[in-house]
Amino acid sequence: MPAPAPDLSHIPAVPGLPLLGNTLQILRDPYAFHTGTRDRLGPLYRVRFLGHEVVAAHGIDAVEMVFLNRDGAFSNARGWEMIAPLFGGGLLLRDGAEHRTHRRMLQPAFRAEVLRRTLRLMSRRIEAEIAHWPVDRPFRFFWAIRQLTRGVAAEAFMGITDRRTSDRLGDAFLAELDATAAPIRTPLPFTRMARGLRARAFLKDHFARLIEERRQGSGHDIFSELCRLRTEDGEWLDAGTLTDHFNFLLFAAFDTSTTSVTAMAEQLALHPEWQEAMAEEVAALKGDLGFEALETMQATERVFREALRLVAPVPFVARGVLRAVEIHGVTIPPGAIVSACPGLVMMDPAIWTSPERFDPDRFAEPRTEDRRHPFAWAPFGGGAHKCLGMHFAMMEVKAFFAAFLPRFRIAARAPAEWRRLPIPRPTDGLRVTLTRDRPFQRRPGRDRSSGLTDHPHRSATRPAGSQQAPVGGD
């Protein structure tokens, strides 16, 4: 018997369409929808989204409360129920002691030694993919990078190098992703949800068939690492659990990385002085793309942080309420679903100086705006469910730009429009032009920077020989 729906009549509701509720408005532009509604109704209100009644809770205190979950009042399994048919059994969708046990079990698959080996696989694949990228003509960066991350995921995550297999799995995986935000949640014939569920079954079956071979083999991809994990009792993980975890890991890793690299590329295209700063630190590596060497890429890290602040790959998180909680002075009863928004907190002018502005130095001493509150900058979440792939993501981004910047410069005519859900992407695929790199040159006396940052490299010039002047930014 399903539990009776909680009484939320004391919380203001936003009128919506029959059946769909507010789903379409939220999918179209969630930030505009939520800031507009907050200004009208206050920081707590109800929406209907993807078939669920959800209490939207604004503000940094709500973000802190759901991430830290101090008295165990929140459930992830219940909060992320809307993606459970596709990604059920994944680490994020587990709670309490069971979640802790599974997280401990998975952690060895992300140890430094594994990351080090993955980095080698990844760098090789990135180099091969970008070697064919065209220069001096219009280029849709997002689609190219999505193809690239798909190849990286096939090789580094699944140990698959054969293009046909990787394309088949990639297509199934994209169908699964596509179903996460399908407005029709029932898997009726020909719907996105039906396609997504078929894709999940296909992928799980494909992975299950590989388990035995991977246990015996010596592959260093993430799937092989997972296959060799043992439970606390020293047993192998059963096929159902293992494939659920792997299926979720792909989901967690794939488009989030694509979004991060795209968001960075957009800002670099608009701010050539940062492009030069990053190119300079890549040049200082002198071809050593080892794990430790990547640590030195501090400008890249700042650009990464700033890009994730402006375009949070996971802008909203959801939690089920297990015991009554009070948010903004209102009691939310058990059975409700609460959504908090780290993405909007990262754009809050009460916390960040000119939050709309691209300004990576806000993360550097002495400004360190991110330290104004432990959850001011939280694109990777926090508490027990904090992203397990944070270092992996950072490594992938650095590996990409370490391969990209010695070959190319990137220019864009205008900022892109972003569609933020389910995972952010530029609506036009991010139109840019790539040009060939020329040696980095400084021309004293010519400051091309935006004047917005204190960055030491801000007098860098546009690379000589670029066919098209970067527009915007400065």
Residues that bind ligand HEM (CB under 6 A): 91-92, 103, 249, 252-253, 256-257, 260, 308, 313-314, 317, 379-381, 385, 387-389, 392-393
d(CA 215, CA 342): 39
Which is closer to ligand HEM, CB of 25 or CB of 260?
260
- The structure tokens listed for 181 are 């935000």
327 three-state secondary structure: strand
Residues 6+ apart with CB under 8 A from 141: 262, 265, 266, 410, 429, 430, 431, 432
Give the shortest CB-241-to-ligand HEM separation in angstroms. 14
Which is closer to ligand HEM, CB of 200 or CB of 409?
200
Give the shortest CB-205-to-ligand HEM separation in angstroms. 22
Give the shortest CB-184-to-ligand HEM separation in angstroms. 24
345 three-state secondary structure: helix
Q: Are 46 and 38 in contact (CB under 8 A)?
A: no
Task: Supply angle C-alpha 411, 415, 417, rounded to 5.
Answer: 130
Which is closer to ligand HEM, CB of 388 or CB of 411?
388
Give the shortest CB-366-to-ligand HEM separation in angstroms. 27
Which is closer to ligand HEM, CB of 50 or CB of 308?
308
Render 32-100 in DSSP notation, one character per residue. HHHHHHHHHH-SEEEEEETTEEEEEE-SHHHHHHHHH-TTS-EEHHHHTGGGHHHHTTSGGG--HHHHH
Render 368-410 in DSSP notation, one character per residue. -GGGGSTTSS-TT--GGG--TTHHHHHHHHHHHHHHHTTTEEE
Give the shortest CB-284-to-ligand HEM separation in angstroms. 24
Give the shortest CB-423-to-ligand HEM separation in angstroms. 9
225 three-state secondary structure: helix
Which is closer to ligand HEM, CB of 227 or CB of 411?
227
Which is closer to ligand HEM, CB of 85 or CB of 389?
389
426 three-state secondary structure: strand
d(CA 247, CA 265): 28
Residue in the shown chain whose Cβ atom is closest to ligand HEM = 389
φ/ψ (deg, to 5) at 268: -65, -35
Give the shortest CB-129-to-ligand HEM separation in angstroms. 18
Give the shortest CB-226-to-ligand HEM separation in angstroms. 11
Angle, to 10 degrees, between the axis of helix 112-130 and the axis of helix 141-152?
Answer: 130
Which is closer to ligand HEM, CB of 314 or CB of 452?
314
Which is closer to ligand HEM, CB of 91 or CB of 345?
91
Give the shortest CB-251-to-ligand HEM separation in angstroms. 9
d(CA 441, CA 460): 7
Which is closer to ligand HEM, CB of 418 or CB of 460?
418
